C-alpha cells in the first residue's frame, strides 16, 4: 500500500543530455503525437504529457521489459496518463494492455522530466516498483506498439539494465527512452 504523495525527482533530460544538437540529422519517427503535432500553434514551445511506468517483479525476481523488436530497444512497461485519469489507474491499465498482467504497486521509484524539443513535448514519467499479481495473460497492444513489435520479456534486473542501456539509440525518441529507463532501473537497484 502506498502512503503519502511524495515522489522524488530523479532527473530532467533534454536534447543535450541525449547528445542531440539542434541541427542534428538524427532520425526521428513521430507516432503517438503525429496528429497533435499538426495542430500545435507555432508560438507554443511545448505541451505536457504525463506518463506512468513500472519496474515489475515476478516470483523469480525478474523484471518485465517491453522489447521493441523492430527498432532494437527495450523499455519499461507503461505509457500515457489519459485525460482525467489517475496516475496509478493509468499504470494499471497500461501494464494490463502491454503485458497482460495485473500488478500490486509497492512504492515510488521517482519521476523524470523529459524536454523533447523536436516533438514540442515536456513529458513527466512517474515510475513505481510493483509485483505481478496472478498469472500473465494475453496483452492488448495499441497499433503503434504492434508496429514496433512490442514483446514482453522477463529479465534479471542487472541484465535488464544492460539491455536498456545498450538498445538501439539511433532514433530521437529511443535516446530519451534509454536514458530515462536506465535511470529508473538504477534507482530501483538502489532501493532494493
Give me the pLDDT at residue 36, please.
Answer: 47
Cell representation of residue 133 = 499479481
Query: Residue 152 and residue 11: Cα distance in Å, rounded?
Result: 26
What predicted TM-score, i.e. pTM, was given to this entire model? 0.84
Domain count for the chain = 1
Asked, for residue 66, whether it belongs to a domain, the answer is yes
Confidence band of 138 (pLDDT split at 50, 70, 90):
confident
Asked, for residue 16, whether it belongs to a domain, the answer is no
Asked, for residue 31, whether it belongs to a domain, the answer is no
Asked, for residue 22, whether it belongs to a domain, the answer is no
CATH code at position 66: 3.90.79.10
Consecutive H or E run containing 87: helix 87-99
Query: At 134, is the secondary structure helix, strand, or coil?
Result: coil
Asked, for residue 9, whether it belongs to a domain, the answer is no
Structural domain for 73, as ranges: 46-191
Asked, for residue 108, whether it belongs to a domain, the answer is yes
Asked, for residue 2, whether it belongs to a domain, the answer is no
Bridge partners (DSSP) of residue 152 are 66
Query: Residue 183 and residue 178: Cα distance in Å, rounded?
Result: 9
Average pLDDT over every residue of 154-167: 98
Asked, for residue 24, whether it belongs to a domain, the answer is no
Higher pLDDT, 161 or 7: 161
Give me the pLDDT at residue 1, please.
Answer: 42
Residues 67-119: tens digit of each pLDDT: 999 999 999 999 999 989 999 999 999 999 999 999 999 999 999 999 998 88
Give me the pLDDT at residue 145, please.
Answer: 85
Give me the pLDDT at residue 21, please.
Answer: 73
Give me the pLDDT at residue 29, please.
Answer: 45
Give me the pLDDT at residue 4, please.
Answer: 56
Residues 21-37: tens digit of each pLDDT: 765 555 544 444 444 44
In the chain, DSSP assigns E strands to 9-14, 47-57, 62-68, 73-75, 78-80, 102-116, 121-133, 150-156
Amino acid at each position: 500500500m502506498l502512503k503519502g504523495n511524495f515522489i522524488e525527482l530523479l532527473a530532467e533530460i533534454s536534447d543535450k543530455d541525449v547528445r542531440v544538437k539542434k541541427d542534428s540529422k538524427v532520425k526521428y519517427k513521430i507516432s503517438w503525437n503525429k496528429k497533435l503535432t499538426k495542430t500545435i500553434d507555432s508560438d507554443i514551445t511545448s505541451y505536457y504529457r504525463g506518463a506512468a511506468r513500472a519496474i515489475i517483479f515476478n516470483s523469480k525476481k525478474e523484471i518485465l521489459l517491453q522489447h521493441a523488436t523492430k527498432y532494437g530497444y527495450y523499455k519499461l512497461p507503461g505509457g500515457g496518463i489519459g485525460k482525467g485519469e489517475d496516475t496509478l489507474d493509468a499504470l494499471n491499465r497500461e501494464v494490463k494492455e502491454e503485458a497482460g498482467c495485473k500488478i500490486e504497486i509497492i512504492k515510488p521509484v521517482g519521476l523524470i522530466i523529459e524536454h523533447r524539443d523536436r516533438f514540442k513535448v515536456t513529458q513527466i514519467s512517474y515510475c513505481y516498483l510493483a509485483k505481478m499479481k496472478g498469472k500473465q495473460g494475453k496483452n492488448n497492444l495499441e497499433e503503434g506498439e504492434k508496429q514496433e513489435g512490442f514483446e514482453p520479456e522477463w529479465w534479471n534486473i542487472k541484465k535488464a539494465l544492460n539491455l536498456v542501456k545498450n538498445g538501439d539509440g539511433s532514433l530521437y525518441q529511443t535516446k530519451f527512452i534509454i536514458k530515462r529507463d536506465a535511470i529508473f532501473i538504477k534507482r530501483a537497484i538502489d532501493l532494493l
